[in-house]
Amino acid sequence: MTVEPRHVTPSDATAPMIDPFGRAVTYLRVSVTDRCDFRCTYCMSEHMTFLPKPEILTLEELDQLCSAFIAKGVRKLRLTGGEPLVRRDVMTLIRNLGRHLDTGALDELTLTTNGSQLAKYADDLYAAGIRRINVSLDTLDDKNFARITRWGRLNQVLDGIKAATRAGLKVKINTVALKGENEDEIPSLIEWAHGEGHDLTLIETMPMGDIDGDRTDQYLPLSRVRETLEARWTLSDLPDRTGGPARYVRIKETGGKLGLITPLTHNFCESCNRVRLTCTGQLFMCLGQNDDADLRAALRNDPSGALLNDAIDEAIGRKPKGHDFVIDRDHAKPAVARHMSLTGG
């Protein structure tokens, strides 16, 4: 049987997004706000200047953009931030996006959150079709939590995680590995998470945006963490791949799964399936590069959506092969100037 080549016009709203390296873009991460109720030391400076309101996409515009990507083949959508659950009326957006789960256009709608508002929203999230969420938690020590997040309270997050579990949401814990700050606690955090039935993923710090301190002081290579863990437990590599920088292992003694995100290595770029949208409508084709596309202008200037489709196709055509992250003493400046809270990680 011969298959006719599909004719793709530049503004074909359903043309799949294939980048110049043959990678299909099927995963969109959307930062719905740059604001946050915490000030984690590795993510933000204490006195952040946030974006002026008119620059921020409305909830309707965010929905339009997400829906355009879904029409073009995105199967997984992650909402993040800043803290997604502090955006006013965010549940309206989440509920509306849930329609794409009902039609089968989307496989998964999910969320990365600091957990502070989960007690309030867990049931609504489940009702909207969300089944799994990532909750960031770097320590189980009250004082350390207050120090790392600056403005957060540990109990509020733990209550949020309990509420999420009760609501039926599968919770994965994300922990940034921080030299001298939570390094010694990593095994107990893993034991706790696995004991509660949560997988846990460790993340290396990434050089994004100016913070108040020096990132080289915080950087803890996960290769070192893995050695420590291997002295204590039996780790076996799992074949799971998500198209992202995570590698997974099973810990025999706890029975749980551990993810290791090492964004400074390049070994995941060849399978990269994702792009990132900010709350101002900038599309970043790579977390570790500065190149972006202005989808807000395309969206606001042409209600027909044709300009937007062209802008998306053009941007995907510029998706780079890989990132240029480096953290060392010779690179005192962040590799990318924007903060993680703008693109959401």
Of residues 214, 192, 203, the one with CA closest to residue 41: 214
Of residues 43, 179, 60, the one with CA closest to residue 112: 43
CB of 39 to ligand SAM, least distance (A): 11
- With contacts defined by CB under 6 A, name the span among 8-16, 40-48, 203-211, 226-234 that binds ligand SF4: 40-48
Binding partner of residue 39 among ligand SF4, ligand SAM, none, CB cut-off 5 to 8 Å per kind: ligand SF4
Binding track, positions 155-184, relative to ligand SAM; x by CB under 6 A:
-------------------x-x--------
Question: Between residues 26 and 41, which has the closer beta carbon with respect to ligand SAM?
Answer: 41
Question: Which of residues 33, 41, 80, 139 is near ligand SAM by CB under 6 A?
Answer: 80
H/E element holding 314? helix 306-316
- With contacts defined by CB under 6 A, name the span among 60-68, 79-87, 117-125, 225-233 that binds ligand SAM: 79-87
Question: Between residues 81 and 129, which has the closer beta carbon with respect to ligand SF4?
Answer: 81
Q: What Cα–Cα distance (Å) separates residue 165 from each residue in 58, 123, 189, 194?
A: 30, 10, 17, 13
Q: Is 341 an interacting residue with respect to ligand SF4 (CB under 6 A)?
A: yes
Binding partner of residue 174 among ligand SAM, ligand SF4, none, CB cut-off 5 to 8 Å per kind: ligand SAM
Q: 6, exposed or middle or buried, with CB in 10 Å at 0-12, 13-18, 19+?
A: exposed
Joined tokens for residue 125? 């999230």
Q: Facing residues of 249 across strands?
A: 237, 258
Q: Is 44 an interacting residue with respect to ligand SF4 (CB under 6 A)?
A: yes
C-alpha angle 105-107-110 in degrees, rounded to nearest 5: 120
Of residues 345, 314, 321, the one with CA closest to residue 203: 345
Amino acid type, 72 = K
Question: Between residues 15 and 125, which has the closer beta carbon with respect to ligand SAM?
Answer: 125
Q: Is 340 an interacting residue with respect to ligand SAM (CB under 6 A)?
A: yes
Bin 130: left if φ > 0, else alpha if -120 < ψ < 50, else beta: beta
Question: Which of residues 17, 25, 32, 40 is near ligand SF4 by CB under 6 A?
Answer: 40
What are the residues binding ligand SAM (CB under 6 A)?
A: 36, 42-43, 80-81, 83, 112-114, 136, 174, 176, 203, 205-206, 208, 340-341, 344-345
